[in-house]
Structure 1
Amino acid sequence: MQEAKWSAQRSIGQREAHQCSERDFRAVFGELDASALITADELAALLCVSRQSLDFRLRVGKIPRPVVREKRCVRWRAGDVRAWLDGMQQVE
């Protein structure tokens, strides 16, 4: 089952092998499959916050809970993150 899952990190690596242009994770995130797993560092980059800020937000319940949480391995499903972002209110 673990082999069926793939991370965004591997997806980014595959895209970089085929593309020479530098792109940040926010651009790559839009192209990810909903079942792709993203790391805490990738989620922090997507939200434009530090890893420490992301960890704090997770502790206080400001971001969705990860689907994988084992020792140092923390992952979120791209589709869950998209749904959470879509549900946020627009600031004007």
Structure 2
Amino acid sequence: MAIPVKNEDQYLGGCLDALDRAAGRYGGEVVIVAMANDCTDGTIEILNTWRPNHATLAWSAVSLYRALGTPVGRGAWRSMQARTC
């Protein structure tokens, strides 16, 4: 399952824990994919330190940016970091 996150440090740990518990009840392979967009709070730290019991966490810090000279309304995704737990 994919979850977009931006400055979610107040809720992310609980959300990941709930998804992990659901993965344990499911019994099959579950991958949680978190896409952290320009986070300025503790979201990245949570993604770095959270350890699932049943699911696999794959996450990437991404940024939607505009290169110089790019027309308004157009952007490109840039992956800054990726990690799988």
Tell me the TM-score normalised to structure 2 length. 0.29
Bigger radius of gyration among the two: 2
Q: Write 1 or 2 for the structure with the bigger share of strand.
A: 2
Q: Write 1 or 2 for the structure with the bigger share of helix.
A: 1
Tell me the TM-score normalised to structure 1 length. 0.28
